Amino acid sequence: MNIFDLINKKEFWIVRHLGFWMVMYLDEFLSLFGLTEPIDDWMSFGIVLGLDLLMIYFNLYYLIPKFFQKGDIQNYLILTLLTLVTNLTLMHWLTYTHCEECDFISSVFGSFLYTTGLLGIAVSIKISKITQQKMARINELQKLQHETELDNLKKQVNPHFLFNALNSIYVLAKENPKVAPESILKLSDLLRYQTYDAAKAKVGLTQEINFIYKYLDLEKMRRDHLKTTIEIKGDMNNIPVPPLLFLPFVENACKYSNSISGENEFVNIVFDHKGTDLFFEIENNQGDHKGFLQDAEYSGVGLENIRKRMKILFPNNHKLEIKETTAIYKSKLIIQDIHKI
């Protein structure tokens, strides 16, 4: 059991409440062990404690749920003040006759300060706990919403990838039937990764890089003039990344580098790990297609998909730059504190 469990878990509610009352009546509690002055009038003490218990728990378990949590603050405050006055009135009506040496005015004033403080502390703890639970529910809902949105974005990527891969195999089967079986095996490896590994929340960066290698190999089987490079700088081991993070970049680079003449087709990729940051750059020639900034057909699985995923996955620690000229299309992604995602 840790302090978080003690404060929040239902099974420890008795411990929490006993601890609260022991602290609030610390002087009387210590008197049981002879550490402070003994209680002279047990009847008066019992009446005061009983009235305080009624006032506190009536507020915590009726007034707060019935009025405060429903936004009826005015009625909550009125009824809280009314219970406080009732508590003090009953307390002094029932106990003052038992205390012959008590000064009525000073006794009422002292009781008012103590009882008000007792009520204020109890209500503050309760409201703080309610607020904490509400924030936890909001965070959980946001997490579920983000996971759902990410899942939908990944589902957009997968069919797009499969369409491109099948299109490549179709072209190979027509132009070079002998290599079609090999391309099907490569596609099988890629689909296996998408089916099993990509279902995880995080994968190793080396796995993602291997996936990109295989994807480019499949692409090059149908394009004789396409040249690809992947440059690795720094240690790529033990770096967690969301699965299929870089696939939309690679798909679009392959698509938009395609040209009718087949000349000067290239896709160059750089992974660079510096300190706590990961740098990803991909560059391709401008083929016969326009860049996906203007490609309405694929906007849903292109740049918009990438930007949405970045915003959800790395809301405050990423930077995406896209540059386009008549000859070259280049994307650069920087993810800060990559080990903390």
Are residues 257 and 224 located together in one domain of the fold? Answer: yes
Are residues 20 and 167 located together in one domain of the fold? Answer: no
Cβ within 8 Å of residue 173, ≥6 positions away: 180
Are residues 131 and 202 located together in one domain of the fold? Answer: no
Are residues 159 and 56 located together in one domain of the fold? Answer: no
192 in a domain, yes or no? Answer: yes
Among 137, 163, 189, which residue terminates a domain? Answer: 137
Residues of the domain holding 51: 3-137
Among 98, 117, 137, which residue terminates a domain? Answer: 137
Are residues 89 and 162 located together in one domain of the fold? Answer: no
Are residues 237 and 108 located together in one domain of the fold? Answer: no
61 in a domain, yes or no? Answer: yes
pLDDT of residue 153: 56
92 in a domain, yes or no? Answer: yes
227 in a domain, yes or no? Answer: yes
Are residues 336 and 192 located together in one domain of the fold? Answer: yes
Residue 128 and residue 152 in contact, taking contact as beta carbons nearer than 8 Å: no
261 in a domain, yes or no? Answer: yes
Output the domain CATH number for residue 321.
3.30.565.10
Cβ within 8 Å of residue 180, ≥6 positions away: 169, 172, 173
Among 96, 114, 137, which residue terminates a domain? Answer: 137
Are residues 21 and 71 located together in one domain of the fold? Answer: yes
* Spatial distance between the Cα atoms of 305 and 302, rounded to a whole number of angstroms: 5
309 in a domain, yes or no? Answer: yes
Q: Which residues of the chain have pLDDT under 70?
A: 1-12, 32-34, 39-41, 95-110, 141-164, 180, 198, 262, 289-302, 341
- What is the number of domains present in the chain? 2
Are residues 237 and 292 located together in one domain of the fold? Answer: yes
pLDDT of residue 267: 96
Are residues 156 and 221 located together in one domain of the fold? Answer: yes
50 in a domain, yes or no? Answer: yes
Are residues 126 and 225 located together in one domain of the fold? Answer: no
142 in a domain, yes or no? Answer: no
- The full 3-state SS of the chain, as one line of letters, equals CCHHHHHHCHHHHHHHHHHHHHHHCHHHHHHCCCCCCCCCCHHHHHHHHHHHHHHHHHHHHHHHHHCHHHCCHHHHHHHHHHHHHHHHHHHHHHHHHHCCCCCHHHHHHHHHHHHHHHHHHHHHHHHHHHHHHHHHHHHHHHHHHHHHHHHHHHHHHHHHHHHHHHHHHHHHHHHCHHHHHHHHHHHHHHHHHHHCHHHCCCEEHHHHHHHHHHHHHHHHHHCCCCEEEEEEECCCCCCEECCCCCHHHHHHHHHHHCCCCCCCCEEEEEEEEECCEEEEEEEEECCCCCCCCCCHHHCCCCHHHHHHHHHHHCCCCEEEEEEECCCEEEEEEEECCHHHC
Are residues 319 and 239 located together in one domain of the fold? Answer: yes
